[in-house]
Amino acid sequence: MRIIIFANGNLPNLAKARTLIRPDDFILCADGGTRHAIALGLTPNIVLGDLDSISDEERIKMKESGVEVIQYSADKNETDLELAINHALTLNPDEILILAALGGRMDQTLANIALLSNLQLATFNIKLVDGVEELFFCRDQAKVEGRSGDIVSLIPWQGEVTGVFTENLRWHLHHETLYPDKTRGISNEMTAEVATVSIKSGLLLITHITGY
């Protein structure tokens, strides 16, 4: 099963976001992310959160559509997206794509990226995507699928990353170390439709600009 989680951030291009959705996807909306599902003509399977960002019109639409709504207290320690991810994990998905988790408030964007660094997610295929960019972590090896010329950046997270080896990127890294206070890994370019990255130790954030 593949789960699509809609967060309450920005979707810069609805048409490109729509290309990410499959007919059999399980749709989970984190509070205000419901608006994106509605804009794409989708009926969520579940809406959850403290529901402070959902309009009355959206509430009525969810009720009429028979959508399962899980409401949490506003006095909570987690963001609605963190609650949505935790719920998604209970469904044992093969893959999780999180849409609209980028843009808008910088604190929310950084927190959303940080959520993916949770060791509990290490065995899951989970990404932040919006049709224009995708972000995910590499703990051992990773594959980036796109087009020649796409921008790929490699960002050390929580400390230095050693043994970085890349294939099909314009500036090849050959078992090198990337440091969190240096910009060595920013703005590389794909030279084929698939690029690969492997590391020896650390946690590496991969960002891929898939189109404008």
> Are 175 and 198 spatial neighbours (Cβ–Cβ below 8 Å)?
no
Domain containing 38 equals 2-131
CATH number at residue 80: 3.40.50.10240
Domain annotation covers residue 99: yes
Same domain, 24 and 123: yes
Domain limit, last residue, from 78, 113, 131: 131
Q: Is the pTM of this model over 0.85?
A: yes
Alpha carbons 166 and 22: distance in angstroms, whole number? 31
Task: Please state the domain count of the chain.
Answer: 2
Band the pLDDT of 98: cuts 50, 70, 90.
very high
Euclidean distance between CA atoms 86 and 100, whole angstroms = 17
User: What average pLDDT does this structure show over 150-165?
Assistant: 97
Residues 62 and 126 in one domain: yes
- Do 56 and 6 fall within a single domain? yes
Residue 85 sits in the same domain as residue 156: no
Same domain, 39 and 86: yes
pLDDT in tens, 22-66: 999 999 999 999 999 999 999 999 999 998 888 888 888 888 889
Q: What is the predicted pLDDT for the residue at 211?
A: 61
User: What average pLDDT score do residues 136-159 get?
Assistant: 96
Any domain includes 136 = no
What count of residues does the chain have? Answer: 212
Residue closest to 7 by CA, chosen among 190, 130, 162: 130
What is the maximum alpha-carbon separation in the chain?
56
pLDDT classification of 212: cutoffs 50, 70, 90: low
- Residue spans of alpha helices (H) in the chain: 14-18, 34-39, 56-64, 80-89, 106-115
Interacting residues of 155 by C-beta distance below 8 A, sequence separation 6+: 178, 180, 185, 186, 204, 205, 206, 207
Which residues make beta-bridge pairs with 23? none
